[in-house]
Amino acid sequence: MPNGLNNDLTFASDSISGPVCTTANEDLNACVPLPYQVGAAFIAPAAQAAGGIVGVNLIDPSGSDHPGSISDQLYLSVAPVAGVPGIFSVSWCWDSDREPGTGGISVICQNSITVPPDRLFSINEVGGFMDLTSFFTASPNNPLGPLAGDGVWQVLARPDIPEPASLAILAISLLGMGAYRRLRN
């Protein structure tokens, strides 16, 4: 994957709020958007009492500039809103391509969201869009996923997009997410 090009824009999106992070520019900053609130129908029953936290680390593949290193992170925290029954706060952190040797900082989402070791997954990064939904949603294979399953959510990430393709892909994804939300309503 490309390393450290200041114009390599990356982003993450979910099907409820749309793009959750469009500002994570490689090697410069992470995206920690403001939390947003959703109703209980969007949260897995097991997470409705105390919330839930999940994290996914994307690992650079062999042949890349830092094989085996954490390249990107997408972390999620879901918590009940105090004093408002049935409403939950959803917080994301998307960190793109904080490689070793990049100012000595390798990863930064754990500074925003502390993920328990048993809820932190590591997978190999692949080119193109990565559907990370199964890590964040509840299912028989992932009973502690804090987001409701059954197709309610879709969580996508796109690491390492060299310009100018990133702007075109971002525009297409925004249109697609908008169309998806209209179809759901």
4 part of a folded domain: no
pLDDT, greater one: 19 or 122: 122
Q: DSSP characters for 104-130?
A: T----GGGT----GGGEEEEE--SS-E
> Has residue 86 got a pLDDT over 70?
yes
* Confidence grade of residue 183 (pLDDT, cut at 50, 70, 90): low
Residue 2 pLDDT: 35
Question: For the chain, how many structural domains are there in total?
Answer: 1
How far out from the chain centre does Cα 70 lie?
A: 14
Residue 8 pLDDT: 43
Q: Kindly report which listed range (13-22, 23-32, 126-135) carries the lowest average pLDDT score.
A: 23-32
1 part of a folded domain: no
CA angle 59-96-129, nearest 5°? 75
* Confidence grade of residue 130 (pLDDT, cut at 50, 70, 90): confident
> Has residue 76 got a pLDDT over 60?
yes
98 part of a folded domain: yes
* Sheet with 155-161: strands ordered across: 18-21, 9-14, 155-161, 130-131
2 part of a folded domain: no
> Has residue 112 got a pLDDT over 90?
no
* Confidence grade of residue 72 (pLDDT, cut at 50, 70, 90): confident
> Has residue 78 got a pLDDT over 60?
yes
* Confidence grade of residue 40 (pLDDT, cut at 50, 70, 90): very high
Range of the domain at 127: 9-184
- For the residues 105-130, what does the mean pLDDT come to? 81
pLDDT, greater one: 90 or 30: 90
* Sheet with 120-124: strands ordered across: 36-39, 87-96, 70-80, 52-59, 120-124
Q: What is the pTM of this model?
A: 0.75
Residue 12 falls in which region: left (phi positive, over 0), alpha (psi -120 to 50) or beta:
beta
72 part of a folded domain: yes
